[in-house]
Chain A
Amino acid sequence: KAGVTQTPRYLIKTRGQQVTLSCSPISGHRSVSWYQQTPGQGLQFLFEYFSETQRNKGNFPGRFSGRQFSNSRSEMNVSTLELGDSALYLCASSLEQTNTEAFFGQGTRLTVV
Chain B
Amino acid sequence: QKEVEQNSGPLSVPEGAIASLNCTYSDRVSQSFFWYRQYSGKSPELIMSIYSNGDKEDGRFTAQLNKASQYVSLLIRDSQPSDSATYLCAVKKNRGSTLGRLYFGRGTQLTVWP
Question: Which residues of A pack against B, CB within 8 Å?
Answer: 31, 33, 35, 42-43, 45, 48, 50, 55-56, 88, 90, 92, 94, 97-107
Size band of the interface chain B makes with A: 20 to 34
Consensus secondary structure, chain A interface:
strand
B100–A50 touching, CB < 8 Å: yes
- A residues near B100, Cβ cutoff 8 Å: 31, 33, 48, 50, 55-56, 94, 97-98
Q: Which residues of B contact A (CB under 8 A)?
A: 31-32, 34, 36, 42-46, 49, 51, 88, 90, 92-94, 97-104, 106-107
Chain B residues with CB under 8 A of A88: 43
> Contact between B32 and A100 (Cβ–Cβ < 8 Å)?
yes
Closest 5 CB pairs of A and B: A97-B100, A97-B99, A48-B100, A98-B94, A43-B104
Contacting pair B101 A99 (CB below 8 A): no
Q: Which residue of B lies closest to A98 (CB)?
A: B94
